[in-house]
Structure 1
Amino acid sequence: MPEPVDQYSFDNPLTRYDRVEPPIQHQPEPGVQSRMTPVPDRGEKTYRGTGRLQGRRALITGGDSGIGGATAIAFAREGADVAIVHLPDEEGDAEHIIELIREAGRVGVAIVADITDAARCREIVRDAVAALGGLDILVNNAGKQVAVDRVEDLADEQFESTFRTNVFAPFWLVKAALPHLQPGSTIINTASLEAYQPAPDRLDYAATKAAINNLSKGLAQQLAPRGIRVNVVAPGPTWTALQVSGGVSDDQMADFDEESTYKRAGQPAEIAPAFVFLASAESSYVSGETLNVNGGMVTP
């Protein structure tokens, strides 16, 4: 991999990171990033903060690894206190992120929770507000993606679980967070390229990402009079634990670098700056927007 560079360095985006070229590997859900080969880059050595989120308080679901982990690191280095939500099996990854948040001189809080339960989502917000002293930024990032070739084999239980994780949980968390969000606060939801270009073996996942994209645009209009912005980040193929925990087939994993126009997979560290922009006052006139970060793959 090239020498680490921060997000402000000027270089060729096609070669900013090496191709992943992952060996075929499998983990049970939800997947642990530290056991992946190669380990994704969350910006631990590269992200440079400039105080863009000084004094803000953020809650990030799926903040232990991948895009959520990279966003947690970036937010902390920009001056925010951060609470992350993760599953019990992800404790090792979460501890690493909390350590980096605290190294940045910020408050870091890890909340172990299954977000597919409405009551637990309300507790998550309550716990985050208590730990951080309030809430200014909500990032709904946690996601479930399990590839199934044939619709006949897509279990009812998986279809429901994917929607509960990817759509219901953000809805519940937004409702719980709103009493704490003041004018200037932001909500950022994670969609996907799949919202526009659904893979045939990811019917449930792609449908949820289209739903969260649509939900966010409606919510942005409803919350605009309150001074609360709602936006979406839609990543393209990015090397995260989703891929090794059933998110793609073996053939797709072997060809993972070939999906994007850049002919290399994205790294979580490349996605996090989009969340920083949408969380910061630099995007004060941006709401209801979907920011596609996908290596040149054209979307509507």
Structure 2
Amino acid sequence: MKPINQTTASGFLLLGLTDGPGLQPLVFSLFLVIYLVTILGNLLIILAVSSDSHLHTPMYFFLSNLSFADICISNTTIPKMLVNMQIQDRNISYTGCFSQSCFVLIFGGLENCLLAVMAYDRYVAICHPLRYTVIMKPRLCILQVLLSLLVTTVNALLHTLMALRLSFCTELQIPHFFCELTQVIKLTCSDTFINTLLIYSVTSLFAGIPLSGIIFSYTQIISSVLRIPSVGGRYKAFSTCGSHLSVVTLFYATAFGVYMSSAVTDSSIKNVVASVMYIVIPQMLNPFIYSLKSREIQGALRHLFSRILFLRLCP
């Protein structure tokens, strides 16, 4: 295959989820519903937290930022796929493709860091309850979010800029519904050893540190909870972690599924399905998990809906 420079070609071709024309309307409708539910659910979480003064705590501050990251991930991937399916054009420009890869890395990494920060918040709340307000000051919470965003942005730019230096072949078909960086690199005619080494080493480090923090936090939390004499006290203490633990399990289980799928099989269909489970499903389910498990969120949502209904009835 003849190598070409990215400035001389039109771009990449996203093959999407299916080639069957009969399935296109079904896939389009399914992903449109998923997209709308994701955006609406996460927006409601952000509005509920911002409108209820009782939720102006570090835990819900981090939750609103997690919802923001979920919205950004969905906006980065799904709309382009829906537009391509609607106009029957699977092309994406070089700039658009690498921008999409970069933003997916930024907001996916931000979600990873936020889950670790939220685990630390629960660790302080349960293991050091008397010092919670002293440790988790607003300035520290904002700094943690900004630092997480900075680290993920640097990581994403590093991978993207390293990929931009590559020369690509003439067959620029990506067997995916978005520009996943590993799939893009597979299309190059250049030596990808440095890129592959960078992806696996930095990604392992970048994912391993937050995961280690989460494991350490929950080890300390479980140890503290078991020392509580009453069963009711144990349940009350650990119930505050239920939503976060469910989201963490969903996030890392789907991420591990993507890793195992790419490592065990070369099937593009299986890899795409695994990526859907990682990049689409958790972002849609996170608001439901917190809404079902948190009475504070339920109360804030009821209050928010009551205010909206009142404003509509009494303009």
Query: Normalization by structure 2: what TM-score?
Result: 0.28
Higher relative contact order (CA 8 A, sep 6+): 2
Q: Counting strand residues as a fraction of each chain, which structure ranks higher?
A: 1
Task: Give 1 or 2 for the bigger CA radius of gyration.
Answer: 2
